[in-house]
Chain A
Amino acid sequence: MQHNIYVYIFVMFAVTYLIRVLPLTLIRKPIKSRFIRSFLYYVPYVTLAIMTFPDIVQATTAPVAGLLALIAGVALAWSGRSLFTVAVASCAVVFITEMIIL
């Protein structure tokens, strides 16, 4: 079955907006459960790591370029560079690597 792209976009919007706006309008107290707080605390790190690898290696024309971008990105982020710098440097590593090997 082929799905309608606008229904997809609406579902994305509806769920995301409710998550954001319900605490501001209805739930005016912080969440008490330590387990749920811990779960929500870990989710962004886990989910971003899952989406980054191995996808970064599959996104580039040459997989090794993606791997080098991953290493460079980790090194730059580790040394405290800004989000913008890390993103641009990752792109530059792929561009240069593929220019050399392809």
Chain B
Amino acid sequence: MKPENKTWFLRGMRDGTPIMLGYAAVAFTLGIAARNAGLTAGQAFLTSLLNNASAGEKAGFTVIQANEGYLAMAVMMLIINARYLLMSCSLSQKISPETGLVPRLIIGFEVTDEIFGVQMNLPGMICPWYTYGVIAMALPGWSLGTYFGVVMGNVLPANIVSALSVGLYGMFLAIIIPPAKENRVIAALVLLSMAASCAFAYLPVVSAISPGTRVIILTVAISAGAAALFPVKEEDGHAA
């Protein structure tokens, strides 16, 4: 390893440490969701190792629990993880054109909200070794956290499991509420989305729609409506 690559790798590990701790805690509660959906610890570990996506995996477990089709799973992943497309487009502008295919395949593997964030914070172009350092911390935190969520979820008392099962939702709130405070359109969308989700869960006729399909239909309808009525300004486009 070249000395400058080593420096970047260590810097990536340093920036990846708080990400690892946060991921481990949240992945633990994701593991409890995986256990509730009927996955073994090994299967949940594999899912987290390959996907690195909290909302995507939670939605995937919903599809698995409801025993819906593979096409429903594919559509669900496409919609829920669509934002990574936008992030990867932004990231592609921060990767030097000489960067080879293999580093691009590895950087693309771990595009998450947090890792995207630390990479975009770097001045100038991204050295792939920096990203490798972040991944070296974040990926074990995420996948092992999920593993232990399933394992410990089986032995922990019911009141602890009940408490830990909301950790994932706490993380979702920490992602959506601060932007909602700054942006009235997002605040209105969050309220509308929760109200619509609640209506679809309990009202007659529409409550027959499976949870997975409900997430897809409402996400597409509300996001498309908002995009048509309140198109974002150019500089906001990268913020998601």
A interface with B by C-beta (< 8 Å): 1-3, 5-9, 11-17, 19-25, 27-31, 34-56, 59-62, 65-66, 69-70, 73-74, 76-78, 80-95, 98-99, 102
Q: Is the CB of A78 within 8 A of B177?
A: yes
Hey, which chain B residues are within 8 Å of A44, CB to CB?
55, 83, 113, 175-176, 240
Q: With a CB–CB cut-off of 8 A, which chain B residues contact A91?
A: 29, 163-164, 166-167, 170
* Stretch of B7-15, B19-27, B132-140, B147-155 lying at the A interface: B19-27
A53–B172 Cα distance when bound, in Å, is 11
Q: A12-B73, A43-B82, A102-B159 are in contact. Are A56 and B166 (CB under 8 A)?
A: yes
Interface secondary structure of A, over-half rule: helix
B127 contacts partner chain A, Cβ-Cβ < 8 Å: no
B105's partner among A11, A21, A46, A84 (CB-CB below 8 A) is A21
Q: Are B170 and A90 in contact (CB under 8 A)?
A: yes
Q: How far is the CB of B113 from chain A (nearest CB, A)?
A: 8
Residues of A close to B90: CB separation below 8 A: 30
Q: Are A84 and B81 in contact (CB under 8 A)?
A: no
In the complex, 14 of the A-B residue pairs with CB atoms within 8 angstroms, ordered by the A residue number, are: A3-B67, A15-B77, A16-B56, A19-B82, A23-B89, A24-B91, A30-B237, A39-B226, A45-B193, A50-B196, A54-B194, A56-B166, A69-B169, A98-B163
How many residues of chain B are within 8 Å of chain A by beta carbon? 103
Interface residue B51 (Cβ < 8 Å from any Cβ of A):
yes
B101 at the interface (CB under 8 A from A): yes
Interface residues of B in 168-182 (CB under 8 A from A): 168-181
When C-beta atoms are compared, the residue in chain A nearest to B221 turns out to be A46
Min CB–CB distance B7 → chain A (angstroms): 24
Residue from B163, B175, B181, B237 whose CB has the most chain A CB atoms within 10 Å = B163
Q: Which residues of B contact A3 (CB under 8 A)?
A: 64, 67, 69-70
Q: Which residue of B lies closest to A50 (CB)?
A: B197
B227 at the interface (CB under 8 A from A): yes
In the complex, B53 has a CB within 8 A of chain A: yes
Q: Return the contact of B167 from the options A2, A37, A55, A90 (Cβ within 8 A).
A: A90
Contacts of A12 in B (CB 8 A): 47, 50-51, 56-57, 60, 73, 77
Are B60 and A41 in contact, CB atoms less than 8 angstroms apart? no
User: How far is B177's CA from A45's CA once the two chains are assembled, in angstroms?
Assistant: 9
- Evaluate whether A45 and B163 lie within 8 angstroms (CB atoms) in the complex, with A8-B63, A38-B227 already known: no
B239 at the interface (CB under 8 A from A): yes
Which 8 A/B pairs are nearest by Cβ-Cβ distance? A21-B108, A90-B170, A77-B177, A38-B227, A23-B88, A49-B193, A95-B163, A87-B170
